Amino acid sequence: MPGPVPGIPPSMPGGRPKTWMAEICPAMTSKGITPMSYDLIVIGTGPGGYVAAIRAAQLGLKTAVVEKRKAHGGTCLNVGCIPSKALLHASHMFEDAKHFADLGIGVSAPTLDLQKMQSFKQEGVDGNTKGVEFLLKKNKIDAFHGIARIAAVGQVEVTSEDGSNQLLETKNILIATGSDVTRLPGIEIDEKVVVSSTGALELESVPKHLVVIGAGVIGLELGSVWRRLGAEVTVVEYLDRILPGMDAEVAKNFQRILSKQGFAFKLGAKVTGIEKTGNGATLTYEPAAGGAAETIEADVVLVAVGRVPYTQGLGLDHLGVQLDNRGRVQTDEHFATNVTGIYAIGDVIAGPMLAHKAEDEGVAVAEIIAGKAGHVNYDVIPSVVYTFPEVASVGKTEEELKAAGIAYNVGKFPFTANGRAKVNRTTDGFVKILADAATDKVLGVHIIGPEAGNLIHEAAIAMEFGASSEDMARTCHAHPTLAEAVKEAALAVEKRAIHM
Ligand code: NAD
268 part of a folded domain: yes
Which of 376, 397, 422 finishes a domain? 376
Residue 229 and residue 278 in one domain = yes
Torsion angle (degrees, nearest 10) of CA 120, 122, 127, 128: 120
Q: Which atom of ligand 1 is nearest to the CA of 242?
A: 9
Residues 39 and 145 in one domain: yes
> Cα of 391 to ligand 1 centre, how many Å?
15
Inter-residue contact 281 to 274 (CB < 8 Å)? yes
Regarding the beta carbon of 206 and ligand 1, being less than 6 Å apart is answered: no
pLDDT recorded at residue 34: 59
Catalytic residue check, 479: yes
In a domain? residue 316: yes
Q: How far is the CA of 430 from the centre of ligand 1 (A)?
A: 24
In a domain, 8, yes or no: no
CATH number of domain containing 469: 3.30.390.30
Q: Where are the alpha helices (DSSP H) in 262-354?
A: 316-319
Within a domain: 107:
no
Residue 497 CB contacts under 8 Å (≥ 6 apart), including other chains = 411, 413, 488, 489, 491
Note whether 433 and 474 are same-domain residues. yes
Task: Give yes or no for residue 467 CB within 6 A of ligand 1.
Answer: no
Q: Is the CB of 244 under 6 A from ligand 1?
A: yes
Across 471-494, average pLDDT: 98
For residues 200 and 135, membership in a common domain is answered with: no
Give the least confident one: 8-12, 197-201, 321-325, 350-354.
8-12
Give the closest residue (by CA) to ligand 1 atom 41.
Answer: 385
Ligand 1 atom at shortest distance from the alpha carbon of 352: 32
Residue 383 pLDDT more than 50? yes
Confidence of residue 3 (pLDDT cuts 50, 70, 90): very low
Cβ neighbours around 51 below 10 Å, total: 27
Q: Are residues 135 and 203 part of one domain?
A: no
The parent domain of residue 221 ranges over 194-305
pLDDT tens, residue by residue, 83-110: 999 999 999 999 999 999 999 999 999 9
Confidence of residue 24 (pLDDT cuts 50, 70, 90): very low
Instruction: Say yes or no: 271 and 173 in one domain.
Output: no
3-state secondary structure 196-224: CHHHHCCCCCCCCEEEEECCCHHHHHHHH
Structural domain total, the chain? 3
Average of per-residue pLDDT values in the chain = 93
268 C-alpha vs ligand 1 centroid, how far in Å? 15
Domain of 50, CATH number, reads 3.50.50.60
Cβ contact 395:445 at 8 Å: yes
Residue pair 293/285 in contact (Cβ under 8 Å)? The answer is: yes
262 & 157 share domain:
no
Tell me if 216 CB under 6 Å of ligand 1. yes
Residue ending a domain, among 353, 376, 399, is 376
